[in-house]
A and B are shown apart, each in its own frame.
Chain A
Amino acid sequence: MAILVDKSSKVIVQGITGGAGKFHTERMLAYGTKIVAGTSPGKGGEKVLDIPVYDTVEECVANHDADTSVVFLPARFVMEAVIEAIYAGIKFVVVIPEHIPISDMMTVRKEAQKFGTIVLGGNTAGIITPGEANLGIMPDIAFKPGRVGTVSRSGSLTYYVADTLSRTGYGETTCVGLGGDPVLGSTFNDILALFEKDEKTKAVVMVGEIGGVYEEMAKTTIEKMSKPVIGMIGGIFAPPGKRMGHAGAIVEGEMGTAQSKLKALEEAGAHIAKTFLDIPKILEKFNI
């Protein structure tokens, strides 16, 4: 078992005819991801890498029973594309592009909740269930099937955490990238709750960073979890008022400092790792 995506997921790529869409479709296919179709309005009937292209998501669902979508479109088209997917019955959408307008993402979140759809991103590296499916832009080399789940706002940190888990023999159930934008389709709360219910996941590593309050909000979920949660926060030495790469990674006033996030995680009972090498040391204490 895994969360959100596995080898039976029937995946479409929205924006499959674009440069990034095509490039990553090839990579995802090579990993074994079951990509059944793609969309590109006006290009219905064409094929990309032998995958049929449709004008609408509706057709992908009708003809291929698609249930999952990865979006590779410019930010300004994302809201409409995701809502189209939601109304067509897609249950899980991964938004790779960054800089989605905040009100667009809030609208997406509302529509998604109406239909019970889960949306990841924007500005996420994607999600991978090692050995089964890879949705997005993450490198295969870091990941091995195993028993620890990971959730992070950053792609590069996901690779380092997974690499550490793979090399120490724990491996991963599913690795989830929430995304680096200021307002996201899913929060730590949503993903932690899914890991808690997943039988195969024995522990969760959660990596946060400065900015926003998604890490602080996770406190209420972590408190209720039976599985160990290992928490890591980036930006302890970040200068206030400066944006560090991710649009969401900026400390404004007292909100979103690394200290407030660490405090919330500690109070919730999470185990704090300072470096990646701390992660296997903490896991050793649990019989997993």
Chain B
Amino acid sequence: MRLYEYEAKQLFSQFNIPITSGQVAETKEQAKAFAEKTKKPVVLKAQILSGGRGKAGGVKFADTPLEAGTRAEELLTTSIKGFPVNKILMDEKLDIEKELYLGITLDRVNYKIVVLACSEGGVEIEEVARRNPHLIKKISLDVDQRFFPFWGMSLARHLGAKGENLKKLSQIVVSLFNLFKQYDAKLVEINPLFLTKDGRYIAGDARMSLDDDALFRHPELAEMGIEIRHEEGEMTEREKLARGWEIPYLDLDGDIGMFPGGAGFGIMGNDFIHYFGGKPANFMDSGGGPSPERLARMLILLDENPKVKAIFGARFGGISRCDDFAKGVVIFLKEHGLTKPMVLRMTGNMWQEGVRIFQESKKEHPEIFKNIEIHGIETPIEEIAQRAVELAKQR
């Protein structure tokens, strides 16, 4: 979960990482009032969940309260990098001597925490890494390693700090590390970290991304007003419906409805359809051991999608059972009815029982089976994919 700058700065101040006493504004009037109170030039920063905000026009300056109001209105009525701006963070404008970079992230390859310091801040760190890698100093640590101040000292020296400032900056590094650990972060960045003309270090920006799977350890975030968010970006109506049913689902731009089993085959099945000249209308994951009701809902998502011309179904019963799969399909056929042609293959755990359920139901209601072709283990899955592509082309 990514945090907004103003949320991350709340956590920064808890850990005594210096920030300016800024304020969030949601209206032009609030922005004006802040500038009047500050009696200094101000900076207005759009609060969006994306980096590269400055380049995209999300940071503005104002010398007077009147100008602050105008700039605030401009920001609050635009979208930046696809994100609508609902809040801006107001800060007094500082006299900057130097812009630096501090960051901490996880190295998934080597199972380490990496602390980075760069003497060139205010630009994307990836860019510096390409252009001037020697400006970046890196320390790799085990995930359960306590962070000793001498590492902070070493990074602070790399950033050119001396004397009292060396101690101050190394303490900031230590605090940032402790913050990273405390909240199970995946990333914490101060970019830029300002060194002001009067010799203070101040976090200009704050980026933080937390491990979604560790959020259960942090009920205190909600108490601080930081709501748990699921980041899916903009969702289509069907994606929202699927989310309500807790079915992992994505709309794609083709015409073959994908009704696969697990996520792995969902990803690969998508490729297979492409290999045989078709295009999937969606990605979907049934999850382990889906109930018949859930399976019926998965089919509703596909059959009611006007773009879908044919449906490709695959079930390899592992943790999930073929009898439940057959039951789900039959519930759907009886209660909803299939309007699109569907080809499916069913094998694995309890497949004989699944076949029996299909046969009995077909004897009773042959009419509801008219659009469906059912195969077993004797037909390779590749042939099923090919058949789905053919069916879509016939429509």
Contact = CB atoms under 8 A, between A and B. Distances in A.
Contacts of B135: none
Contacts of A109: 111
Nearest to A275: B382
A236 B380 contact: no
B264 A139 contact: no
Contact of A275 (B106, B266, B272, B349): B272
B288 to A, nearest CB: 7
Given A156-B264, A157-B268, A247-B213, A141 B348 contact: yes
Contacts of B233: 241
Interface in B38-78: none
Contacts of B271: 234-237, 274
B136 interface: no
A87 interface: no
A274 B142 contact: no
Interface stretch (A3-11, A44-52, A63-71, A207-215): A207-215
Interface string A247-265: 1010000000000000000
Contact of B186 (A102, A110, A153): A102
B213 A154 contact: no
A239 interface: yes
A209 B271 CA distance: 11
Interface string A89-122: 0000000000111111011011000000000000
A83 B266 CA distance: 33
B214 A154 contact: no
**Interface residue range, chain B:** 35 or more
Contact of A153 (B111, B211, B264, B348): B264
A277 interface: yes
B283 A244 contact: yes
Nearest to B233: A241
A138 interface: yes
B108 A183 contact: yes
Interface in B286-301: 288
Interface string B255-269: 000001111111110
A234 B380 CA distance: 18
Query: Which residue of A139, A154, A235 has the most chain B CB atoms within 10 A of its CB atom?
Result: A139
A149 interface: no
Contacts of A155: 262, 264, 318-319
Closest 8 CB pairs of A and B: A154-B264, A245-B263, A156-B262, A245-B285, A101-B214, A156-B265, A234-B268, A106-B143
20 contacts: A102-B186, A106-B143, A141-B317, A141-B348, A141-B351, A142-B348, A154-B268, A155-B264, A155-B318, A156-B261, A180-B263, A182-B108, A183-B106, A207-B264, A234-B267, A244-B283, A245-B266, A246-B267, A276-B380, A277-B382
Given A152-B264, A209-B264, 20 more contacts: A99-B213, A101-B211, A102-B106, A103-B143, A106-B112, A107-B143, A156-B265, A157-B262, A159-B316, A160-B316, A163-B347, A209-B268, A234-B267, A235-B267, A237-B271, A237-B280, A242-B283, A274-B271, A276-B382, A277-B382
